[in-house]
């Protein structure tokens, strides 16, 4: 279903308060609610699809971290098969696949395994683009353009319609600009796992902040990037910021041990997933909370919401997502005055209703109490 103009039909729901926006679009999701996309099956994909609308997300891009190229291809096919198996109106909808690696820099590995990283040579890119199923679904590749063959890989992937992002990169400012010249159009998790901003050598962030060709992925949990710097990013380039969660299986779960690409991730009481060595490993962030966090640092709510809707939708080439206009997909979020999702629609169908969920939980608790009293 799509957005149309004109008088509302008979029986239409009329909203008299709150805020109505397009559905949120998250282009970097490694997993959630205990599910790691590196080892996903149809049941796990369905769990994520059901859970994400509670956070306002209606479309998401499953992300796979560094693995050997043949393994990454196998994992991508498993993600696509699980997505294809989703029943109608299951919840949020996957948008394809984002490969965050293995074409990264060992110097900026983060929690990715440097031993599994390879240069993006012609043969490696052939494997991705010669796989017809994967080529149609490969929406985004994060790579380090300074690696041998990096710029040629950017050109080939961009020519194939893939969004190329600079990330996990030790690129200088000059090399980052060269990546843009070759067709790169995004930066993955700005400031994290990349050559830092310097006042003489701008690194990846410095060029990204001033080069209008880049969309800036930002993890706004206020741990990956501090509040003042988040505000600085919006002051400098707010119209190009795409809020992402970089969520891992720990998102939406209690403290404990989870998986990210087959490696252990520990979620502590502070809500930040880390490797056993203490390195931040993705996030447990939800995209609605990212919006609220950005509003809390002084960004206008309209700009914060744009960065979670139209900006990421445009970045991955989805002109009917992330906007309220005739012809757009009918993905909608009705928010309360505290920017908490009240009701969410995907393709015009309700996939989350907070009031109904609370009522169902209350009935369940009452049944439990009655059973305990018998």
Catalytic center residues: 246
The enclosing H or E element of 233 equals: helix 227-237
> CA 101, CA 99: separation in Å to the nearest integer?
6
Question: What is the CB neighbour count within 10 angstroms for residue 11?
Answer: 5
Beta bridge partners of 215: 186
> CA 212, CA 215: separation in Å to the nearest integer?
8
Of the candidates 166, 168, 53, 180, which has an alpha carbon nearest to the alpha carbon of residue 111?
168
> CA 324, CA 22: separation in Å to the nearest integer?
6
Beta bridge partners of 57: 24
> CA 334, CA 139: separation in Å to the nearest integer?
28
Of the candidates 5, 140, 135, which has an alpha carbon nearest to the alpha carbon of residue 63?
140
> CA 97, CA 137: separation in Å to the nearest integer?
6
> CA 153, CA 220: separation in Å to the nearest integer?
29
Tell me how far CA of residue 315 lies from CA of 78, 200, 250, 321, in angstroms: 25, 29, 26, 11
> CA 214, CA 208: separation in Å to the nearest integer?
6
Q: How many CA atoms lie within 13 A of 47 on its CB side?
A: 16
Kindly state the tokens that stand for 68: 């050997």
Question: What is the CB neighbour count within 10 angstroms for residue 85?
Answer: 13
> CA 179, CA 157: separation in Å to the nearest integer?
12
Kindly state the tokens that stand for 206: 């410095």
């Amino acid at each position: 279903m799509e957005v149309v103009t004109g008088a509302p039909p008979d029986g239409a729901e009329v909203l008299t308060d709150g805020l109505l926006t397009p559905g949120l679009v998250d282009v970097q999701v490694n997993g959630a609610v205990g599910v790691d996309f590196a080892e996903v099956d149809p049941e796990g994909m369905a769990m994520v699809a059901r859970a994400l609308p509670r956070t306002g997300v209606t479309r998401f891009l499953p992300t796979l971290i560094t693995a050997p190229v043949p393994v990454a291809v196998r994992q991508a096919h498993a993600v696509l098969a699980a997505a294809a198996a989703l029943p109608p109106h299951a919840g949020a909808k996957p948008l394809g696949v984002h490969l965050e690696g293995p074409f990264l820099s060992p110097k900026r590995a983060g929690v990715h395994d440097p031993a599994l990283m390879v240069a993006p040579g012609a043969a490696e890119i052939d494997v991705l683009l010669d796989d017809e199923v994967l080529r149609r679904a490969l929406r985004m590749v994060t790579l380090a353009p300074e690696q041998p063959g990096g710029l040629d890989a950017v050109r080939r992937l961009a020519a194939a319609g893939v969004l190329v992002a600079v990330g996990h990169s030790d690129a200088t400012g000059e090399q980052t600009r060269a990546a843009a010249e070759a067709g790169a159009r995004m930066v993955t998790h700005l400031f994290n796992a990349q050559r830092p901003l310097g006042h003489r050598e701008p690194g990846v962030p410095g060029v990204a902040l001033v080069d209008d060709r880049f969309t800036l992925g930002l993890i706004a949990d206020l741990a990956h990037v501090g509040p003042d710097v988040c505000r600085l990013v919006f002051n400098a380039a707010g119209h190009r910021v795409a809020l992402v969660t970089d969520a891992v299986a720990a998102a939406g779960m209690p403290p404990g041990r989870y998986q990210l690409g087959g490696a252990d991730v520990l979620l502590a009481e502070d809500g930040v997933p880390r490797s056993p060595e203490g390195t931040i490993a993705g996030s447990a962030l939800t995209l609605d909370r990212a919006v609220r966090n950005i509003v809390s640092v002084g960004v206008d709510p309209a700009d914060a919401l744009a960065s979670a809707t139209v900006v990421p939708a445009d970045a991955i080439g989805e002109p009917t997502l992330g906007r309220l206009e005739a012809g757009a997909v009918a993905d909608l979020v009705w928010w309360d005055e505290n920017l908490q999702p009240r009701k969410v629609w995907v393709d015009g169908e309700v996939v989350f209703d907070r009031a109904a969920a609370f009522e169902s939980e209350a009935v369940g608790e009452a049944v439990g109490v009655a059973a305990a009293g018998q």
